[in-house]
Structure 1
Amino acid sequence: MIRTPLRPLARILRAREHGENPDEIEAENRRLRHEAIQHKARRRAEGRLVLMAGFFLLAFGTVGVRMGVLASSNPSEPRSQVLSAQIISQRADITDRRGRVLATNLLTHSVYAHPQQMVDPIGAAQGLARIFPDLSEEKLIRDFTGNRKFMWIKRKISPEQMQAVHDIGEPGLLFGPREMRIYPNGDLASHILGGSGFGNEGVSSAEVLGVAGVEKAFDNWLRDPSNDGAPLALSIDLSAQAAMEEVLASGMALMSAKGAAGILMEVETGEILAMASLPDFDPNNRPRPLLKGDASDSPLFNRAVQGQYELGSTFKIFPVAQALDLKLINPNSGINSKSPMKIGKYLINDFNNYGPQLSATDVIVKSSNVGTVRIAQMLGVERQKDFLQKLGLFEPTSIEMVEAPTGRPLVPPRWPAVTAATVAFGHGLAASPLHLAAAYATIANRGKRVEPTLIHGRKRPEGEQVLSPRAAELAISMLRQVVTRGTAKQAEVEGYEIAGKTGTADKPRPSGGYYKNKVISTFASMFPASDPKYVLIVTLDEPSVGSGGGESRTAGATAVPVAAELVRRLAPMIGLEAKTDESLPSIAARFQPHVEPGPHDEIKLVANQ
């Protein structure tokens, strides 16, 4: 701003020329300047008053509107909304398909100490050591008499322990409320549930986090307050799960097996009614993971989902079903079964010499390696790989467990002729029992792809048609004959029309090659064969049972009897009534007349020197 001078030179000179007093000019200019300053200050003050009046009007208006809203609304209980809270202690329950509780919360207490507030720290240490034998009295005395201001004593205590600590009468020992996760059924379904632990902790609450299984897979959902405490309903049936674990444990002991796995799955929905892996654990007291050695030696290892096994002759139905679908063969087609069969420097043998030719049906019934390889060669490597991939045998399963990605099948990086041949009869490609269950469910589901799930009642998109209904029907008929006159005759349970395939595969050595006396025996089945509703997989790790003065490790003598007992126990439990009439007379009649059953489906693959 340009200020007007008080004594402008031009006006002073003119005033002197006319005899006027120059001081009057200065006085007038000073008066005008003061008036301008006063006017500006007045405008500024008026603006501030208007601004303050507007602010007060807005504030009182907001309060008035809020009071009007509260006066016209229904009264309700106020809720605390603390966005900065770090610990969410509430966790939803987990139930089975019938609403029976598998995991829930229990209000308990923790005990902690303020050593600086203690009256008798040594007496307190002695009292705590008597209540909690795992605590060191000497260490407690050092901590209580040192410089520590806070320390945890126990993060979870029982009501009896709480009372005993209270009776010590030490003001420096304090209690904090918290929720703990409990599994009322103990080790039942332990691999499915997984377990939980504490995350962020405070003296008055603790964050419960899932550490494995569905507890970890659905951790965010289970902790989400917007679910209003709704439980997570799993597809498993608690009664069926208990029966499966009991029968598997008995079979495992009877067959002197290192481990066992079982899966019962609904064909149409893919829902798993029971899934067990033995040995198991109690999620209320979850053991520590192994840091070295074989992972399968740990009870935490889920053989059904994480196990990567060569599943042997259970794979033979896949190339046969594909060849039926492509109309390369029919059930009565003659297949060259002359043994041994040479591929490169390798010889592929059958356990017995089945003669120069078998029907396609008898290739499955007698479990001929040579006949299966001949059929796989009709398909070609690319078509064989494409079909196995469509069955889900190249990728991890979509099961809702954090362990699922660790169960990715071990697929050969290259597929020369000998690899394509061995994969056809279940060697060279390692997959989990759950992969096998899903693949067999796809066949049982008239060729539509089935994805396994642990969630009950969830709508899922319809699976891809990977096999024609006609080819699936014929494949089921072949599997039915494996039970009626083949390697799985002990699986016959009257009224339930079991169809299935045995598989006995030598276990690979970590250093290369295979053990001669260690196998994985598997029976993959579906029932009833006339209209399959369920798929059942039983796998035993390193079984051995006395037979005819010697030992037998084949699936027909180990996994099959266990599967039969499971069907006897589970079928009535899940509401499946036994039938008295043969379900597949019209289909079975189209096959060759029955022949004497062959021995078990052991394979031999030796180098031709």
Structure 2
Amino acid sequence: MILTPLRPLARILRARETGQDPDEIEAELRAARHAEIQDKARRRAETRLKVIVGSFVLAFGLVGFRMGALAHSQPTEPRALASGAQIISQRADIVDRRGRVLATNLSTHALYAHPRDLVDPARAARELAEIFPDLDAKRLAADLTGDRKFVWIKKKLSPEQMQAVHDIGEPGLVFGPREMRLYPNGRLASHILGGSQFGNEGVSSAEVLGMAGVEKAFDNWLRDPANAGAPLALSIDLTAQAAMEEVLGNGMKVMNAKGATGILMEVATGEIVAMASLPDFDPNDRPKPLLKGDPSDSPLFNRAVQGQYELGSTFKIFPVAQAIDEGLVNANTMINSSSPMKIGKYLIHDFHNYGGQLSVADIIVKSSNVGTVRIAQMLGADRQQKFLKDLGFFEATPVEMSEGPTGKPLVPQRWPAVTAATVAFGHGLAASPLHLASAYATLANDGRRVRPTLVHRKDHPPGEQVLSPRAAAAARDLLRQVVTRGTARQAEVAGYGVGGKTGTADKPRPGGGYYASKVVSTFAAVYPSDKPAYVLVVSLDEPSVAAAGGGESRTAGATAAPVAAALVHRLSPMLGLRPDHVTLPVIAPRPDDGLKVVSN
């Protein structure tokens, strides 16, 4: 602003010449200056008022617009936003085929310390060591009294432990929220579920990762927020699983076995209804793996999937079924069974001398090694290999477990005549009990390939046809005869038409050769044999049971078969299978679930 002088010299001089009063000029100029200042002040005030009014109008307009938008929108849950990488701690539940919880999440707390905020670090260390006996008291005291600013103490706490820590009264002991994985059924289905562990951790959250089993196989799916918390539905039935583990555990004790395996599978879908491996463990407190020695000595070892066993005479039905399919034999065809049989420098014997000839049916019923080898020779090594490949014995099972790929069968690299002979009666090729269950399910499914699965779903694509329905039906009839008049008579359960095959295989030594008195006994069954609904495989590691005539027996007919019968008797009513006759004898419940030890 340029100020005009209140008494300009030129005007003052002219005013004096004309006789005017110079003070009037000053007054006039002062009044003009004041009017100009007032005009500027008024314009400035008007501008500010307009800005304030405009701001109020805009603010209330936005509020009104937002309220209108919210009034016409669907209600949603608010979401907290956080910057930086987030730890995904939420994990979906795992349920059985009926929706019963197998694995879920539990809100708990972790405990950590800020040593600089502790009033009495030494006392805090002593009292924490009393609450948590597994902690190293000396190391904890050193951590709390040293120069560290942060110390983890426990990754998860029980409510009782949390209260005990509260009672210490130290401000430097801090609780952080946690979500831990909980297996409410304890040991039940432990090998299937596998277990979990913490991954990335922070003071306010921790990542839960699968360690084994389906927890690891479906880790990404279980942690995916896109699934909106939907549970993973497994094919197993919790009640059937509990019954199998109980009966199998009793059978393992009665038969003095080192370990046991049981698999129950639906024929039509391949869904595993129950699968147990003993000994087992509690996934809530998963033990550490063995670093040396035999892996099967660890309770973490899943015998059903990871076990690689020579499954003995349970294999004999495969070359016979294939030969029937090829039109080479039928059930009444007579086969040379003279024993011993020589192949190269090797001799093949039968357990008993069955004479010069046996029918194909009797070869299976009496479990003749020589007769089975004669039939396998009719097929030839190439056709034998192809059929076993079609049944899945040359690849790992596709079951949805992290252990699945580790259970690939041990197949001979070369396949000379002696290998073809020994594989025909279940020696020289080592596979898992789950492979055997899948192959028997294929026989029961009219020759259409069945692949095992642990996921419960509506649609199951049909497998390829690897055997004709006619040959599959003939094989099932032979399996039924094994139970009614052969080596598996102890597997009979009135009203359920069990058909199956026993197999007793010498157990190989880790350094080569076989143990003289250790076997793996197996019984593979389909039932009801006329309209198969289920496949059941029972395998016992190193069983031994007292025989009625003295001594002891290790054969599958005396060990695995009666355990399988107890399982069929216990599980069938749970599965909705009714016996095929009206009147059943009254069977009193027994502590050993009906297991009775008798000789063949």
Give 1:66 shift: 9.3
Residue matched to 1:284 = 284
1:86, 1:200 within 8 Å by CA — same for their partners in 2?
Answer: no
Partner amino acid, structure 1, of 2:485: R
Deviations 1:551-584 (A, max 9, x none): 1000000000000000000001111001129xxx
TM-score under structure 1 length normalisation = 0.84
- Residue number in structure 2 paired with 1:577: 578
Which position in structure 2 is the counterpart of 1:176?
Answer: 176
Deviations 1:522-555 (A, max 9, x none): 0000100110000000000000001121010000
Please name the residue that 2:391 is paired with. Answer: 391
Secondary structure of 1:455's partner? coil
- Alpha carbons of 1:74 and 1:93: their partners in 2 closer, same or farther (altered >3 Å)? closer
CA distance in 2, matches of 1:359, 1:186: 50
In the alignment, structure 1 residue 150 sits paired with structure 2 residue 135: no
The CA deviation at 1:143 is 1.1
Gaps (5+ residues) in structure 1?
1-59, 582-598, 601-609
| Structure 2: distance between partners of 1:65 and 1:83 | 30
Point out the more displaced range, 71-80 or 321-330: 71-80
Which residue is 1:604 aligned to?
none
**Residues 447-478 of structure 1, C-alpha deviation per residue, up to 9 Å, x if partnerless?**
00000000112523210000000000000000
Whether 1:330 and 2:330 are equivalent positions in the alignment is yes
2:144–2:151 Cα contact (<8 Å) kept: no
User: 1:220-369 alignment to 2 at 5 Å?
Assistant: 220-369=220-369
Distance 1:384 1:136 in 2: 61
* Alpha-carbon separation, structure 1, partners of 2:185 and 2:528: 31
Query: Counterparts of 1:257 and 1:102 in 2: how far apart (Å)?
Result: 28
**For residues 137 and 78 of structure 2, what CA distance do their matches in structure 1 show?**
47
Deviations 1:165-211 (A, max 9, x none): 11111010000111111111110000000000000111111111100
Once residues 129 and 380 of structure 2 are traced to their aligned partners in structure 1, the CA distance between those partners, rounded to angstroms, is 71
1:559 aligns with 2:591: no
Distance 2:143 2:230 in 1: 44
What is the 5 A alignment of 1:588-607? none
**C-alpha deviations, 1:230-287, integer Å up to 9, x for none?**
1111110111111111111111111110000000000000001100000000000000
Structure 2: runs of 5+ lacking an equivalent = 1-58, 583-598
Shift of 1:78: 3.0
Whole-Å separation in 2 of the counterparts to 1:545 and 1:480? 25
**Cα drift, residue 119 of structure 1:** 1.2
Report the CA distance between 1:318 and its aligned residue.
0.1
CA distance, structure 2, for counterparts of residue 75 and residue 190 of structure 1 = 42
Give distance in 2, aligned partners of 1:506 and 1:66.
82
C-alpha change, 1:65 and 1:453, in structure 2 (3 Å) is farther
In the other structure, the counterpart of 2:24 is none
Corresponding residue of 1:491: 491
* 1:469-497 Cα distance to aligned partner (Å, 9 max, x none): 00000000000000000000011100000
Q: 2:156 is paired with a residue of what secondary structure? A: strand
Matched letter for residue 324 of structure 1: I
CA distance in 2, matches of 1:77, 1:471: 61
Map of 2:197 onto structure 1: 197
For residues 160 and 197 of structure 2, the distance between their equivalents in structure 1, rounded to whole angstroms, comes to 22
On the 8 A contact 1:506/1:520 being kept in 2, the answer is yes
Structure 2 equivalent of residue 475 of structure 1: 475
What displacement does 1:131 show? Answer: 1.1
Provide the C-alpha distance between the structure 2 equivalents of 1:159 and 1:407, rounded to a whole number of angstroms: 41
Corresponding residue SS for 2:431: coil
Distance 1:70 1:250 in 2: 64
Residues 213 and 403, structure 2, Cα contact 8 Å, conserved in 1: yes
Contact 2:268/2:445 (8 A) holds in 1: yes
Q: Which moved more, 1:349-358 or 1:261-270?
A: 349-358
Q: Which deviates more from structure 2 when the two are superposed, residues 499-508 or residues 70-79?
A: 70-79
Aligned residues: 524
User: What is the alpha-carbon distance in structure 1 between the residues aligned to residue 71 and residue 102 of structure 2?
Assistant: 46
Shift of 1:126: 1.5
Whole-angstrom distance in 1 between the partners of 2:74 and 2:230: 27
How far apart are the structure 2 equivalents of 1:206 and 1:344?
A: 64
1:278-329 alpha-carbon deviations (Å, 9 max, x no partner): 0000000000000000000000000000000000000000000000000000
Alignment check: 8 A CA contact 2:334 2:358 kept? yes
Aligned to 1:19: none
Query: Relative to structure 1, is the Cα distance of residues 75 and 510 closer, same or farther in structure 2, using a 3 angstrom cutoff?
Result: closer
1:86 maps to which residue?
86
Post-superposition offset of 1:511: 1.6
